[in-house]
Amino acid sequence: MTFSSLKNYGTMESTAVNNDSSNNIGPGKGFLNLLKRIWYHLLVLFIGGKWSLIETFTRHRKLQDDETHQRVRAETAVITGGARGIGAEVVRQCLQLNMHVIIGCRKPSAGETLIQKLRDEGVSSGTAEALPLDLNSLNSVRDFAQCILNKNVPVHYLLNNAGVMFHPFQLTTDGIEAQFQTNYLSHFLLTNLLLPALNQGGQSDKPSRVINVSSAAQYGGQLDFNNIDMKHEHSPHMAYMSSKLMQVISTVDLNRRFQEKKMNVRIYALHPGVVRTDLYEHVCWVNFFGRLLNVMFKTPEQGADGIMFVAVSQNVSADGGTFYANCTQQAVNPLAFNRDVQDRLYNISTDLCQLNSSETTASKSCSENITLELNK
């Protein structure tokens, strides 16, 4: 299989709805399901290996000083999963740009520890705070968003960074498959809930930016709208690839909705690179080949470089709805441009999140005095 054909691998499946909700929940049984899981495993290895080789022999790009917008006032960045890994390096770079950073993490004490560590290392600019956020709970996402909205401050950057990879089958407190909710659905909800603050932070000539940290794995994703979170016949590898594909589809879709409502918000997605972080805690062979893979894997700092480029560079597409890797715009899975796919995913997502009309782009306009009332 060539790389070009692999980039078009993503498909949309439609299977019969299983009326027995308890049947086939979790890993599927039987020889055919075993073959599927093996194929999905090999597919994600191929994609990851291909991109890792590309990154090994391609010059690493990062944000240059002359690429940033001139800042006439302090800016606010909200980041999920900012207490460790790539997120911690993003927090560092945001502080160095004199931003106020709001870190969302399960344990605020971990965020506070990071802030103190950065101060001890000499990062004296900017300000930061940590707030509780558990992406495995939609109620926690709502509480986190409400805490930010209660501050009545504009948000200039929303960095949807947190994620899990190849997580063994697990349901969240909302009864949803963990990778689907953590990587995609909770960030979809958070983006919609923070739209008032994001719109307030944007200007017509400098919109606020939402950054979805996706992955090159989106090229191998597929959608089954009758099993959207792959709760049935679960494969951790396909669940990961599909969640990353949904991030990209939503990036294109929400960006279009923002523009139609003339909102001062743009949304982007990116592949941060194949980065050695604890994201690989469920991948045993990474530890086995540790030193060898260190040569091919990017560092968390290098992964953060790509995120910061898309967040603040003047050299990204002003129109939004685009996908980047190594600070360069890339093609996306063709499903991302299918309007029927976009609409179906959007409708399913709003239903799962129980978003009402005042919490979605449908009722937002930059000419309105936007307020948000959360229905608990």
Q: Which of 40, 157, 219, 240 is catalytic?
A: 240
4: Cβ contacts below 8 Å, ≥ 6 apart: none
264: Cβ contacts below 8 Å, ≥ 6 apart: 199, 201, 202, 203, 204, 207, 208, 366
Q: Is 157 a catalytic residue?
A: no
Task: Say if CB 192 and CB 142 are below 8 A apart.
Answer: no
Burial 190-219 (b: 16+ CB within 10 A, else e): bbbbbbbbbbbbbeeeebbbbbbbbbbbbb
Give the 3-state secondary structure of residue 88.
helix
Residue bearing tokens 């930059």: 366
Task: Say if CB 90 and CB 82 are below 8 A apart.
Answer: yes
Task: Say if CB 77 and CB 311 are below 8 A apart.
Answer: yes
Question: Containing H/E element for 243?
Answer: helix 236-260
CA separation for the pair 47, 217 (Å, rounded)? 6
Q: Which residues are catalytic?
A: 240
